[in-house]
Structure 1
């Protein structure tokens, strides 16, 4: 597209997408002229729509019906969104106040997905901070029985992970405290990935009387947290997808099942790694085949509004006719405010 004609066709496409998002009904040339007051004839609009259809941006389902956007049309619409209308001051204040009432990190993130699902009327997901970027703040060791320990790992992002350790021999209270001190000497201040070599060294150099217990604890930490980090997902608003069920070729149950599969969701949230950026995937742009009938809008949150390091991702999943302008704005704002809350700003 080039020149005045190209700009007009771009405006026609924008109007078709906006009208279809609002109504989920095919859009005709007469309706476009009436609603958008375009200063051209209906014949010109029909010609523009024919060109847009030939280029794959819109499609006519039936001979007598109007047009609906294709995935290519939605992509062009999103790519042409140079400015997103900001939320009102009242909306921003309400979002920040609700998030600030969170009692801990997980509560803040749970509130964030509740907000996103309510604000966008779609399904929302958030990832708890990844253990690969979190640093260990403390490792508590609790004796459940003389031969079983509970390891409670607390990171600087407030994440808590627990693991049970079976011991080959009973351990008294004093020895439990010594094991705790040894583990903390290897873990505190490090990411789990960085701490893996320290844990291995600790297992080899621990005092003889504690070696069996330390080896057992280090083995559990390395095998379950370092080699297989358990990234947890919080999901909200899946029932909202029923509104767009007819637009999801793969079927509503398939989309909901995909959202319940942690690996699928983690891949979705891995698309944006810089807080402040927003990624939009439409239809078949999604790697997961179960989501080929859906659109996904994702962002990342960090440890502060201006932080360059992402702690995790969050986003919204809905039909391809979702309100992209509003959804992008809301995902961006909620991710940014979560970053501010976590940083105590």
Structure 2
């Protein structure tokens, strides 16, 4: 759509707004009555004819009404001049709910519930990607004289615990030396860098600690690499069934696709840095099963560090300004909370 054709865009915006609100094809008379465009019905009809010819709207059946196409939604989203802000009550609710979380898992589960409630869509939150996290601290706890517990805490608040059998007794002093050496090597390091450092420690440590260090490092490396099976929280799937009319032939395949972890991870794959919103509409989705949906996603984290992605999945007939505002607000709060932990 030509950037100079502002009136045609206003007609398209009116069609999008009315179709999202009323779920019915929109005619020229309704546009003139509901929107102050300052033009006649005949002018609106001409603009609608041009929009239809260019593929931005379509006529679903023989009525005079039109509905937006994926192409129409795309130009509408791309030309959003402002995002509808959340109300003060909605912002207070987000802050109150998330600040009450006790740990990382609780933060993510509360975030999913909030997004699903605010947008009335399916909400997805990705666990912080380990490769983008840093090591905050490693605790080494003696369980017996020959068995240790390793407690790895990441900068995002993830906790991984692993028991290590040493095969021989170890003194408290030796445990303290292990703890000091390990933390000196990996605290503050990115997980991938920490894994490299851990792999080199056995050869660098004194002979009397080498066997214990080798066993500890072998176990610790497993904590420092990705665990894809633990990376997603999904909520609000039932919201799709409330919009079943938007998926006349595809609701089942959309629900089946959401059960596949690989498919869902692809929906968040476009997330870039924290705060960068991505909207993929209909045919823009890579997976064929998801081409009747729209996906609004965003990265969350702190400063320039991307920890993970979150977003919502719903029909292409979506309230994009409100959805974008909700996704952005929740991601912002999650990033702040994880940065403060």
**Normalised TM-score (structure 1):** 0.86
Aligned to 1:127: 126
**1:86-125 matches, cutoff 5 A:** 86-125=85-124
Deviating more after overlay: 12-21 vs 108-117: 108-117
* Corresponding pairs, count: 340
Instruction: Answer yes or no: is 1:53 the counterpart of 2:40.
Output: no
Deviating more after overlay: 70-79 vs 86-95: 86-95
Instruction: Answer yes or no: is 1:318 the counterpart of 2:314.
Output: yes
Unaligned segments of structure 1, at least 5 residues? none
**1:155-166 matches, cutoff 5 A:** 155-165=154-164
- Structure 1 pair 332/289, CA: closer, same or farther in 2 (3 Å)? same
Aligned to 1:331: 327
C-alpha deviation, 1:264, in angstroms:
3.1
**1:248-259 matches, cutoff 5 A:** 248=247, 251-259=250-258
**1:244-283 matches, cutoff 5 A:** 244-248=243-247, 251-283=250-282
C-alpha deviation, 1:209, in angstroms:
5.2
Aligned to 1:205: 204
Instruction: Answer yes or no: is 1:7 the counterpart of 2:6.
Output: yes
Give CA deviations for 1:154-212 in whole Å, capped at 9, x if unaligned.
01221112345565x35456465554444333322211211122112113334445544
C-alpha deviation, 1:250, in angstroms:
7.0
Aligned to 1:308: 304
C-alpha deviation, 1:236, in angstroms:
1.5
Instruction: Report if the CA contact (8 A) 2:157-2:338 is conserved.
Output: no
C-alpha deviation, 1:310, in angstroms:
2.2
Deviating more after overlay: 84-93 vs 171-180: 171-180
Give CA deviations for 1:264-305 in whole Å, capped at 9, x if unaligned.
3333334232222211111121223332111111122223xx
C-alpha deviation, 1:124, in angstroms:
0.9
Partner-residue secondary structure (3-state), 1:14: helix
Aligned to 2:293: 294
Partner-residue secondary structure (3-state), 1:97: helix
Q: How many Å separate the matches in 2 of 1:292 and 1:145?
A: 56
C-alpha deviation, 1:57, in angstroms:
0.6
- Structure 1 pair 141/2, CA: closer, same or farther in 2 (3 Å)? closer
Aligned to 1:75: 74
**Normalised TM-score (structure 2):** 0.87
Deviating more after overlay: 197-206 vs 176-185: 176-185
Instruction: Report if the CA contact (8 A) 1:249-1:293 is conserved.
Output: no
